[in-house]
Structure 1
Amino acid sequence: MTSFLAVFAIAFAAVLLVELPDKTMVATLVLSTRYRRRPVLAGAGAAFAVQCVVAVTAGGLLHLLPHRILEAAVALLFAVGAVLLFRESVTGADEEAAAEVGLTGTPAGPELSDRRIFGISFGVLFAAEWGDASQLATAGLVARYGQPVAIGLGAFLALVGVAAVAVLIGKVILRRVPLQLVHRVAAVLFAVFAVLAGVAAVRG
């Protein structure tokens, strides 16, 4: 059985690769340029926590399936994630959003309360992560390894790390990192996971 730390590292690396940089970073960066940073990060962290719980729960339910069906489900999850990532790398949607955010300066937002900023940030990031490749990866890894705590913690810390980086140095990264390349590398990684799970399903 794979150790706790090894599974944690796999989940952290997989989610970090998918989300850095991705619409999660772009959305957090937009929010942090308009509103105060602390409630933005708090709202984002709360959204990530809920999304990770949902993904871990889904993966835990899949883990109860018979081995062959489980591997087929994991293969499907990662295959869908690979398609989503490859499509983003082709359309360049994140590059356009990043360009708009990074080049238009820092707009002055309205004077909202911390509670209001928290709610806005929670809603935006919760919606951005719903059905995202990172959520699919989290569910797939839980289904595969059966260690929800290690995987949920790794995924959550990766997402919070991406949000923190977005707030601190997001503009610099989004100007210099080729987003299409990152998405394609992540898509290849997901495709490899899908193939391995598919082979395991066939072998039974």
Structure 2
Amino acid sequence: MNGFWRATIECFLLTLVTELGDKTFFMSVVMAMRHSKVFVLLGSLTALILMTVLSTLAGRFIPTVLDPSYTTILAFGLFMFFGVQMMLEWWNSRAGQGATFEETKKELKPQDTECSSPRLGSLLLWMRCFWMTFLAEWGDRSQLTTVTLAASRNAYGIALGGILGQTFCTVVAVLGGAFLAARISERMVSLVGGLFFLASGCVIGLTMLV
């Protein structure tokens, strides 16, 4: 049970630092500002939950083809890489706020999200949010993190932590994202995320030495 809750908490926190302020977060914000919050939430969240489940299954498959020692080394390398990457993003970014939010608003033009059929509007909106989010998350840091954690942690805990983290971020984006997006410091998100990944990588490194 301790392994389950440890995996849940670890994946939840790592999901938060990778998803808050991420492009998919701002996509949900922009879509919720223009359309029904209910269907934007359902479409985005369905995609994220499906991606989390698939990533967990992929992570559980890795130990069947790789020795556990190699999966630990892979996790260490990936976490340190993400940590350094986010620290470099923090170091190189300007001290502004909301840049990604404004870029996403320009990319998601109003005519690109309108539905021509009122009767099918809700279904089409759900499908659009689902596929936009699913494709944007493919190969994203949060997906790779979930795969890596699932290879060496309790899979049920990883799945639960990932789903809880994605749900929290999506609900925040849809319900309060317009207010929050303009006030999120991307530099701070990168700093906190980078430190968290580096710390997690160091913990994995210590377990390799013991």
TM-score (structure 1 length as normaliser) = 0.84
Seq. identity, %: 26
How far off its partner does 1:100 sit? Answer: 5.0
Q: Distance in 2 between matches of 1:99 and 1:35?
A: 18
Deviations for 1:142-164, whole angstroms, at most 9, x for unmatched residues? Answer: 1221x111111211121121111
Deviations for 1:49-105, whole angstroms, at most 9, x for unmatched residues? Answer: 2211221122212344323212111112223432443454435799423135689xx
Distance 1:48-1:84 versus aligned 2 partners, 3 A rule? farther
* Aligned partner of 1:114 among 99, 122, 130: 122
Residues 60 and 148 in structure 1, CA contact (< 8 A), matched pair in contact too: yes
Q: Distance in 2 between matches of 1:61 and 1:167?
A: 33
User: Residue 130 of structure 1 aligns with which residue?
Assistant: 138
Q: Distance in 2 between matches of 1:192 and 1:127?
A: 29
Q: Distance in 1 between matches of 2:139 and 2:200?
A: 18
* Aligned partner of 2:99 among 92, 96, 99: 96
Residue correspondences, number: 200
Residues 78 and 194 in structure 1, CA contact (< 8 A), matched pair in contact too: yes
Distance 1:56-1:157 versus aligned 2 partners, 3 A rule? same
How far off its partner does 1:165 sit? Answer: 0.7
Residues 25 and 163 in structure 1, CA contact (< 8 A), matched pair in contact too: yes
Q: Distance in 2 between matches of 1:9 and 1:115?
A: 34
Amino acid corresponding to residue 153 of structure 1 in structure 2 = L
After TM superposition, the structure 1 = structure 2 runs for residues 3-152 of structure 1, keeping only pairs within 5 Å, are 3-64=3-64, 65-86=66-87, 88-89=89-90, 90-91=92-93, 95-99=98-102, 110-111=114-115, 113-145=121-153, 147-152=154-159
Deviates more, 1:147-156 or 1:170-179: 170-179
Q: Distance in 1 between matches of 2:81 and 2:128?
A: 29
* Aligned partner of 1:169 among 176, 195, 199: 176
Amino acid corresponding to residue 57 of structure 1 in structure 2 = L
Which runs of structure 1 show a deviation greater than 4 angstroms over 4 or more consecutive aligned residues? 91-94, 100-103, 106-109
SS of residue paired to 2:182: helix
Amino acid corresponding to residue 177 of structure 1 in structure 2 = I
How far off its partner does 1:171 sit? Answer: 1.9
TM-score (structure 2 length as normaliser) = 0.81
Distance 1:36-1:84 versus aligned 2 partners, 3 A rule? farther
CA RMSD of aligned residues (A): 2.8
Residues 102 and 175 in structure 1, CA contact (< 8 A), matched pair in contact too: no
Distance 1:47-1:170 versus aligned 2 partners, 3 A rule? same
